[in-house]
Amino acid sequence: MIIVTGGAGFIGSNLIRTLNQNGENNIILVDNLTNGHKMHNIADLNIADYLDKNEFIERLDNPNFLTHIQAVFHQGACSATTEWDGHYVMANNYEYSKRLLTWCQTKHVPFIYASSASVYGTGNNGFRIERHCEKPMNMYAYSKFQFDQYVRRILPQATSQIVGLRYFNVYGSREQHKGSMSSTVYHFNQQLHTSDEVKLFAGCDGYADGEQQRDFVYVNDVVAVNLWFLVNSHRSGIYNVGTGKAETFNTMARAVMNWHKRGHISYVPFPEHLHGAYQSFTKADISPLRSAGYEREFMTMEQGVTDYLNQLNQAKT
């Protein structure tokens, strides 16, 4: 049996979808469905059981709770980078993760969890998995960073696999429930359904209008990395998950417009509240992932956008 926390969320539901496609249905999905719209992410999935997150956490203290677990994919978190309630964020992203990791170590269960490229902050020191590169700029990023620090301390004594995956800018199907936190691809597509205009931020941090750059990675590739570590359970550590390439928002917008065969770009003033708290450039150093043995090529932006928009817009027809 496999446990997927955050299983009704963006990456978690895609992970379960691929497990189903691989013939695996013996899955416990853990989530908080206060936002009931997330049920659309899981209505077509096959699972053995659903557990509310709070019930799941409470039952971890029971020594007889869940046996014969193959692995835990811990995707559940408060993912809003705009959330500044530190108590709430740390309870959901740090304390919960520590407790679940301890449970996995006690039961010798592989633990593969979602970290974030946000731990690098502005990225002024690069995007290598090294302490001097890390300086989070918001509570979400700090919670992920602090859990990575906790993992680093216990890795030398780990009794079973522990893998942290620092996701860069992930886009793809089943993200619509995230609202403002959804990817630019999703927002650009929505904008083109109501107008001929795609809106980007004006320049900032020395970058021209729309020329800020991110490492955009397709969700199918993120899932593939997770499942590779499931098979390669002898590999532990913290790894970046991105393409290793930086693309501009202008390039992404043009890819979406090319799919629609129409549209133009306009630029809106850069928000004041994001000055000093915005990643204008990200580019994953994936050499540790390659050194671990992961050889699969990542999809190009054009491939990922085309596949995603084919699915997204088919669902609208």
Phi, psi for 261 (deg, rounded to 5): 60, 35
* DSSP annotation of 221: H
Are residues 257 and 193 in contact, defined by beta-carbon separation less than 8 angstroms? no
* DSSP annotation of 276: T
98, 107, 135, 178: the catalytic one is 178
Element (H, E) at 255: helix 249-260
Residue type, 175: E
Alpha carbon distance 223, 207 (integer Å): 32
Are residues 170 and 219 in contact, defined by beta-carbon separation less than 8 angstroms? yes
Q: Is the dihedral of CA 7, 222, 117, 148 positive or negative?
A: positive
94, 96, 113, 140: the catalytic one is 140
- Cα 295 vs. chain centroid, distance in angstroms? 20
- Is 150 known to be catalytic? no
Phi-psi region of 4 (alpha: psi -120 to 50; beta: other; left: phi over 0): beta
Q: From residue 200, how far is each of 67, 187, 188, 213, 306 by CA, in Å?
A: 49, 10, 9, 12, 20
- Is 178 known to be catalytic? yes
Written as one string, the DSSP assignment of 73-119 is EE------TT---HHHHHIIIIIHHHHHHHHHHHHT--EEEEEEGGG
Alpha carbon distance 3, 155 (integer Å): 21
Residues acting as catalytic residues: 140, 178
